[in-house]
Structure 1
């Protein structure tokens, strides 16, 4: 990796949590200058404009969330345990897997009507995450862990929506009580589908 590539990566890494916490619009290049220690001119050597940096930061945060999620899930072989691990990684929204909260939720809501490129990136990750849930359940059905008649595609959408909704509730109320209800409910729903 060249020195320029290293600097570019450093800018992305150091500003990732900043954008995830403050948002794309509210984060100024002066904020990025503060966390990186670079001048505005140095930043623009590596990023043509703020939008280019935002896109790189969104990619970084989404990849980090996916990496940490897969690390938690891949500790297990049993499909039920994998689903439980996915639920558990999102159990404490006040101590999230990515600093600043769920980047799908944070960037997705801000980009909805404002930034089509970022909206598409988040939509891609949303679809990928739901497909991961579907794939785990499909594997479980093939292995005889789950009932063959489970409407797993519907459940995957419901599970994802409940978890993300729980994250939003917890982050805004600064309480995890609703997330814990969602956690228990989803686990009961999964256990009801065991063979």
Structure 2
């Protein structure tokens, strides 16, 4: 990376938690100036406007979340353990994998009906997340780990929705007890489909 690329990356990395915590609309360029220690003019050298920066930050936050979940899943060898690792990556919504909470939930809710570019990025991540669950289960069925008649595509949607719902509940109530219930319930559903 040259100096300009390094500066651009530094801006994205320092702006990422600000946007994820405050939201796109509530984040001002002065907030980014504070965390980067750069002037407004310097920021505009690297990003045409706040929207362009926000889109880069959304990409970065979603990539960070995906990396952490994939890293947790790939530590496990057995398909059931991979699913459990996926679930456990979200077990404490008050200590999320990405500072500020789940960027899919944060940016998806804010972008709905307001920012089609960000909404499309979040939708792609939602689909990729569910596809990861589907691929793990399909591999487990092929290995004889899970029952062949499991409607795993439907379960992937259910699992994803329950985890995101648990994140929402945890963040709004500031308690993790409901996520513990979701965690246990999902693992019981997976055990019920194991051979």
Aligning the two structures, in what range does the TM-score lie when normalised by the shorter sequence? Answer: over 0.9
| Structure 2 Cα separation of the partners of residues 17 and 172 of structure 1 | 18
Residue equivalent to 2:33: 33
* 1:42 positional shift: 0.2
| Structure 2 Cα separation of the partners of residues 93 and 21 of structure 1 | 14
Q: How does 1:47-86 map to 2 (within 5 A)?
A: 47-86=47-86
Are 2:128 and 1:121 equivalent residues in the alignment? no
Residue equivalent to 2:97: 97
| Structure 2 Cα separation of the partners of residues 42 and 158 of structure 1 | 45
RMSD: 0.3
| Structure 1 Cα separation of the partners of residues 117 and 67 of structure 2 | 22
1:34-91 deviation per Cα after TM superposition (whole angstroms, max 9, x unaligned): 0000000000000000000000000000000000001100001100000000000000
Are 2:17 and 1:17 equivalent residues in the alignment? yes
Stretches of structure 2 that go unaligned for 5 or more consecutive residues are none
| Structure 2 Cα separation of the partners of residues 76 and 86 of structure 1 | 10
Secondary structure at the aligned position of 1:15 is classed as: helix
Q: How does 1:107-186 map to 2 (within 5 A)?
A: 107-186=107-186
| Structure 2 Cα separation of the partners of residues 90 and 191 of structure 1 | 19
Stretches of structure 1 that go unaligned for 5 or more consecutive residues are none
1:146-185 deviation per Cα after TM superposition (whole angstroms, max 9, x unaligned): 0000000000000000000000000010000100000000
Q: Post-superposition, which runs of at least 4 consecutive aligned residues in structure 1 deviate over 3 A?
A: none
Residue equivalent to 2:7: 7
| Structure 2 Cα separation of the partners of residues 94 and 142 of structure 1 | 36
* 1:28 positional shift: 0.2
* 1:193 positional shift: 0.3
TM-score normalised by the chain length of structure 2: 1.00
